[in-house]
Amino acid sequence: MNNKKHIYPFHSQVCYEQRKSSMQQEPRLVWLTGLSGSGKSTLALRLEHYLFHQGYKVYLLDGDNIRSGLSKDLGFSEKDRKENVRRVAEAAKLMLDAGLVVLCAFISPYEAERQLVKEVIGKDRFTQVYVNCSLAECEKRDTKGLYAKARRGEIDHFTGISSPYEPPLAPDVEVATDTESIEESLGKLIAAIEPQLSLQNEASAVANIVS
Ligand SMILES: Nc1ncnc2c1ncn2[C@@H]1O[C@H](COP(=O)(O)OS(=O)(=O)O)[C@@H](OP(=O)(O)O)[C@H]1O
Ligand SMILES: Nc1ncnc2c1ncn2[C@@H]1O[C@H](COP(=O)(O)OP(=O)(O)O)[C@@H](O)[C@H]1O
């Protein structure tokens, strides 16, 4: 049997520059990685709220939400986490190609997979944020009671306890949520990210539309 896939992707008649111009923003993926309880969701929600009210077209993809739908068939083995991150990267790429700013909040514990996300999206429109918080502090917070369950052996492959977390080697932005207030961490994110969303090359984008 021939395994060749008979797939013929088409190209839209609306080009990327036209979409950016119509959205008045530079599409970008902001990827937050960190331990459970480090502050990914808190900061991503606050950042989404801020950017939305500044007029950006922005959408947040968060681990627990994606795992209730797109990735509901996946668990927390290394293989499943990699597949989860791969799916999210592909979904985010479509959203960026449509012109959106996308925020992703996932533990995403493996450096190699985070690098793959960067490759799928393209390095020019990717910002990696390391939400850095010690395991001891995350465990103290234990916002969902998961660390206690993991310590009792009731959850397999729990990040930091029975499954690894590889800190990013070269994050674009780093926040230290065990020493900073939420406002301080959020301020750092806004200062780093908002300037990256201003439309570049407006003149050439308009020229593309009229041609
Ligand atoms: N075993 C295990 N390890 C870690 N986390 C667990 C686990 N089981 C369930 N949860 C819940 O799943 C959320 C993390 O999902 P992610 O999709 O971000 O994980 S990953 O990127 O695929 O590693 C995570 O959410 P956050 O606490 O917001 O990180 C937990 O609520
Ligand atoms: N600087 C900070 N940034 C983000 N969260 C913080 C910070 N300082 C304390 N916290 C607290 O830490 C907890 C983080 O929980 P959450 O955002 O659900 O983490 P995660 O999504 O990484 O699992 C929240 O209770 C939040 O109020």
Residue holding tokens 């959205």? 23
Q: Is the CB of 106 under 6 A from ligand 1?
A: yes
Higher-confidence residue of 210 and 187: namely 187
Contact at 8 Å (CB) between 114 and 168? yes
Output phi, psi for 104, to 5 deg.
Answer: -120, 130
Q: What is the mean pLDDT of residues 67-85?
A: 98
Give the pairing of strands 173-176 and 126-132.
parallel
- In tens, the pLDDT along 153-173 reads 999 999 999 999 999 999 999
The predicted structure's pLDDT at residue 202: 60
Q: What is the ipTM of this complex?
A: 0.99
Ligand 1 atom 21 nearest Cα: 108
Domains, in order of start, for the chain? 24-133+165-202 (3.40.50.300)
- Catalytic site positions: 108
Asked whether the predicted pLDDT for residue 200 surpasses 90, the reply is no
* Strand spans (E) along the chain: 28-33, 58-62, 101-105, 126-132, 173-176
pLDDT category of residue 211 using cuts at 50, 70 and 90: very low
Q: What is the mean pLDDT of residues 192-196?
A: 98
Ligand 2 atom 11 nearest Cα: 39
| Cα angle: 95, vertex 128, 138; to 5 degrees | 110
- In tens, the pLDDT along 95-153 reads 999 999 999 999 999 999 999 999 999 999 999 999 999 999 999 999 999 999 999 99
The predicted structure's pLDDT at residue 4: 77
The verdict on whether residue 160 carries a ligand-binding annotation is no
- In tens, the pLDDT along 32-58 reads 999 999 999 999 999 999 999 999 999
Whole-prediction pTM: 0.95
The verdict on whether residue 36 carries a ligand-binding annotation is yes
Asked whether the predicted pLDDT for residue 178 surpasses 60, the reply is yes
The verdict on whether residue 122 carries a ligand-binding annotation is no
Q: What is the mean pLDDT of residues 8-22?
A: 95
Ligand 2 atom 12 nearest Cα: 39
